[in-house]
Amino acid sequence: MGRYHVAVVGATGAVGHEFLKVLDQRNFPLKSLKLLASKRSVGKTLKFKGETLQVEELTEDSFKGMDIALFSAGASRSRDFAPHAVKNNCIVIDNSSAFRMTSGVPLVVPEVNPQDIKTHKGIIANPNCSTIILLMGIYPIHKLSPIQRIIVSTYQAVSGAGVQGINELMDQSKNVLADKDTVNDVFPHQIAFNLFSHDTPINDLGYNTEEMKMVNEVRKILHKPDMKITASCVRVPIVRAHSESVNLELEKKLSLDDVRQAIDEFDGAKVVDDREKNYFPMPMDADGQDDVLVGRIRYDLSSENGLALFIAGDQILKGAALNAVQIAELL
């Protein structure tokens, strides 16, 4: 195995910090590591394997001599700087929405469609966190009996809005408990002790951007452009880890034992389904775990071949940083 020059773009953000942890924990074969961020972060330092690394300014020339760039600095910066990385023969793995639906750019969950990586032309897109978590829970079922329709409702943690989202939840919670007024800077509504439709624009059909991401990305990853899928995405006052309630219509009815076994044998997923103790996937258990937790596995009483389940996964880990590093490992 070779060793690689890797750049982390957006190194000072929540996902950027997680990139460093995952690269360390998985002992990624690094020859060098370059930390990149905006001009205002220049001079900051981050620890990696006991060393102190300086954060450098992201520029068009940042990618000379780099092999792989892990991007998590927002869609606009990805659009601006990813082409410069590609010109320098540096492969981009992008965590933003910039290239996910671009024709010719593979959108990859390594456990689901690793073969698509081979088609890249310099850029590989990391799917939306909710999409990744959903597919990790349902793909082993899809392999047993092709899914005909998906209905999913998400319960999304504030960490999806970065460190600022976490801080706003914490500050508002303290203020509510102290009977003080709350301030909304990151979210459009009070998030403490509240929940609301995901804070992304609503289209003419009444769906927000997060919901349409899930619909379009699942179709692209599974290579099923006509798959029936609908989503309702909700922001909830949880610090970290997303949860999802899922209803599936399958081609044929499966035994629940076969479903549980398929999920447990699927790398990256874990069954948490104890009916006697009423213990099922929870975000507090998924927080910090590489595995996506799957439970509440039961038949849908309203559909002949229907299945219902509940999923929880760490959206900064498998939903972002871990998935991107796994793509780099496959490269």
In whole angstroms, give the CA distance from residue 104 to residue 113: 15
**H or E element at residue 84:** helix 75-87
pLDDT recorded at residue 1:
53
Mean confidence (pLDDT) of the chain: 96
Tell me the CATH class for 4-127+321-330: alpha beta
Buried b (16+ CB within 10 A) or exposed e, 56-95: bebeeebbeebbbbbbbbbeebbeebbebbbebebbbbbb
pLDDT recorded at residue 115:
97
State yes or no: is 90 an active-site residue: no
pLDDT digit string, tens, across residues 290-329:
999 999 999 999 999 999 999 999 999 999 999 999 999 9
In whole angstroms, give the CA distance from residue 324 to residue 270: 20
In whole angstroms, give the CA distance from residue 110 to residue 96: 17
The reported pTM is 0.95
Tokens standing for residue 146: 């092709």
What single-letter amino acid sits at 321?
A
Sketch the domain layout of the chain as residue ranges: 4-127+321-330, 131-315
Distance of CA 190 to the CA centre of its chain: 24
pLDDT digit string, tens, across residues 42-54:
989 999 998 999 9
pLDDT recorded at residue 160:
86
**H or E element at residue 165:** helix 162-177
pLDDT recorded at residue 112:
97
What does the radius of gyration of the chain's CA atoms come to, in whole angstroms?
20
Alpha-carbon distances of 73 from 33, 93, 99, 114, 278, rounded to whole Å: 17, 12, 13, 24, 40
In whole angstroms, give the CA distance from residue 112 to residue 107: 10
Would you say domain 131-315 falls under CATH 3.30.360.10? yes
pLDDT beneath 50: ranges in the chain: none
pLDDT recorded at residue 78:
96
Write down the residue that tokens 């998906």 correspond to. Answer: 150
Catalytic residue among 120, 129, 142, 233: 129
State yes or no: is 129 an active-site residue: yes
